[in-house]
Amino acid sequence: MTMDCESVRRTLGAWLDGEVSEKESREIRAHVEACPSCRAERSRLERLQFVLRAALEEGASKVTFESFWHGIERRISQGRVRHREFWDWLRPVILPRRLAWAIPVTVVCVLAVLFAEQFFFGLGWGPRSNVAAVESIDGHGFNLALLRESETKTTVIWLFEDEDEEEDEPAPEAASTDASL
Amino acid sequence: MNRLQKLPRLTLLCSLLLVGLSAPLGAAEKAPQGLHLRIGTILASNESEDFDPKLSRMKNQLEVIKYSSYRLIKEEVQKVQWRLNAVFEVPGGRSLVILPQEYRNQRLALKVRLLQGDKPLVDTTVRLRNRGYFLLGGPAHEGGVLILSIFAMTP
Overall average pLDDT of the A91-103 stretch: 66
d(C-alpha A31, C-alpha A117), whole Å: 103
Rg (CA), chain B: 23
Q: Identify the pLDDT of residue A103.
A: 74
Domain contains A71: no
Over residues B70-117, the pLDDT tens digits come to 999 999 999 999 999 999 999 988 999 999 998 887 788 999 999 988
Contact A37, A5 (CB under 8 A): yes
Domain boundary among A62, A87, A107: A62
Distance, CA of A140 to CA of A175 (rounded, Å): 19
Asked, for residue A84, whether it belongs to a domain, the answer is no
Using the CB atoms, write b or e for A59-85: b if 16+ within 10 Å: eeeeeeeeeeeeeeeeeeeeeeeeeee
Cα–Cα dist A68/A157, whole Å = 94
Bigger pLDDT: B8 vs B84? B84
Beta bridge partners of B120: B115
Domain with residue A23: its CATH number is 1.10.10
Q: Domain tally for chain A?
A: 2
> Which residues are registered as beta bridge partners of B122?
B114
What is the chain B residue with the closest CA to A159? Answer: B138
Contacts of A103 in chain B (CB under 8 A): 11, 14
Please, which residues 74-113 of chain B have a Cβ atom closer than 8 Å to chain A?
105-107, 109
The answer for B 134-153 residues in CB contact with A (under 8 A) is: 134-140, 144-145
In a domain, A112, yes or no: no
- Could you tell me if B123 lies within 8 Å of chain A, comparing CB atoms? yes
Provide CB contacts within 8 A for B35, sequence distance 6+.
Answer: B79, B80, B82, B100, B103, B108, B152, B153, B154, B155
pLDDT tens digits, A127-136: 455 678 888 8
Q: Is residue A94 assigned to a domain?
A: no
Parent domain of A53:
5-62
Surface of B (19-38) touching A: CB under 8 A:
21-22, 25, 28-29
Contact A169 B107 (CB under 8 A): no
- The nearest CA of chain A is from the CA of B91 a distance in Å of 15
Helix (H, G, I), strand (E, B) or coil at A28: helix
The answer to whether residues B39 and B75 touch, using CB atoms and an 8 Å cutoff, is: yes
User: What distance in Å separates residue A80's CA from the closest CA in chain B?
Assistant: 24
Instruction: Give the pLDDT band of residue A36 (cuts 50, 70, 90).
Output: very high
Residue in A118, A129, A169 nearest the CB of B29:
A118
Residue A12 lies in a domain: yes
The structural domains of chain B, with segments of one domain joined by +, span 1-30, 34-153
Query: Among the ranges A21-30, A134-143, B136-145, which has the highest mean pLDDT value?
Result: A21-30
Q: Between chains, do B121 and A107 touch, taking CB under 8 Å as contact?
A: no
| Domain assignment present for A18 | yes
Q: What angle do CA B136, B99, B133 make, to 5 degrees?
A: 40
Q: Which of A16, A43, A62 is the last residue of a domain?
A: A62
In chain A, which residues have their Cβ closer than 8 Å to the Cβ of B134? Answer: 132, 134, 154-157
Contact predicate B116/B67, CB 8 Å: no
**Contact B34/B86 with Cβ under 8 angstroms?**
no
Reply yes or no on whether the pLDDT at A181 is more than 70. Answer: no
Confidence band for A104, pLDDT divided at 50, 70 and 90: confident
